[in-house]
Amino acid sequence: MKKAHLVWKVGLVVTAMLVAVMPGTAANAASNPYGLVTPGKLIVGMTLQFKPQMYLDEAGEPAGYDVELVTLLARQLKLDLEIKNMDFAGLIPGLVSKQFDLVSVGLTNTPERAKSILFVREYMPYATVLVAKVGNTTKATIEGWNVAGKKITALQGSTASKLVTSTFPLASLVAFPDQSAAFLEVASGRADGIVVEANLAGQYIKSNPGQLKQVPLSKLIAVGYGSWAVQLGNAPLKNRLGIWLCSQQYNGTLARLHLKTMGYKLPALPSTCGK
């Protein structure tokens, strides 16, 4: 009887502890429904060196397509906004270590990345091209560029860097943590070409006339989509952001902001909302 009485008392204590904890847990969930690092604030990781998609303007303030998107997002969700600027290679580790809630840099959804982060949905179409120095006489074919001794640059850790090794396996990849450095390596003649998104190539060529040109290959190196990403396991934030992106896609806001900031019409996005 004493043993049974003791077990019953322990059960009462455990039950009381659970009852005491549960209201606090429910309250925390109610006050921070999206599991943000800092309740009430959306912290976004970006690499502000990809003009016009995301960059620092002349006043040193964040600007561009992604910046306008997350600014609108935070305003509509009634959250404060903080943008953290860092090298591209540090964004995924930073998200994993909970330095921020969201990465908005046009990440391509790959199985490798999906092991450590949670992708939301596509919001930025990309065409990947090959760019060379003006005057380069290499034959404009994959075979012409896929030779030993060719040096092709790309942003370190990016999809473009993987496309260099898969498309031009005989050439040498020269990866840089800074996108501008990857361009300058080609412009200076230290490398032969760069694999990069078409919008970034167009911006560089426009801003630096006479330096670089797009290599007229018979087809684009790749066509894909950039996505937002959140911390692995944060389904509430992922779902809310997915709903928001879909609403902005269908009401025309994505197209309007893209045309305003990028300077060209938004290519078609996947019609996967509600699926």
Domain CATH number, residue 197:
3.40.190.10
235 domain residue, yes or no: no
User: For the chain, what is the domain count?
Assistant: 1
Instruction: Give residue 30's pLDDT.
Output: 80
Instruction: Return the half-sphere exposure (C-beta side, CA atoms, 13 A cut-off) of residue 152.
Output: 29
192 domain residue, yes or no: yes
The secondary structure of residue 100, as a DSSP letter, is -
pTM for this model (two decimals): 0.77
210 domain residue, yes or no: yes
Instruction: Give residue 54's pLDDT.
Output: 97
What domain range includes position 217? Answer: 127-223
Distance between CA atoms of residues 205 and 190, nearest Å: 18
pLDDT, tens only, 6-41: 333 334 333 344 444 444 455 567 889 999 999 999
Instruction: Give residue 28's pLDDT.
Output: 63
252 domain residue, yes or no: no
Instruction: Give residue 252's pLDDT.
Output: 95
Residues of the chain with pLDDT below 50 are 1-24
Instruction: Give residue 168's pLDDT.
Output: 99
172 domain residue, yes or no: yes
Instruction: Return the half-sphere exposure (C-beta side, CA atoms, 13 A cut-off) of residue 84.
Output: 19
The tokens for 173 are: 């990849």
170 domain residue, yes or no: yes
257 domain residue, yes or no: no
Spatial neighbors of 239 by CB under 8 A, at least 6 apart, are none
- The SS3 assignment for 228 reads strand
86 domain residue, yes or no: no
Residue 117's H or E segment, with its range, is strand 117-133
Instruction: Give residue 267's pLDDT.
Output: 84
In whole angstroms, how far apart are CA 203 and each of 25, 180, 213, 275? 49, 11, 11, 35
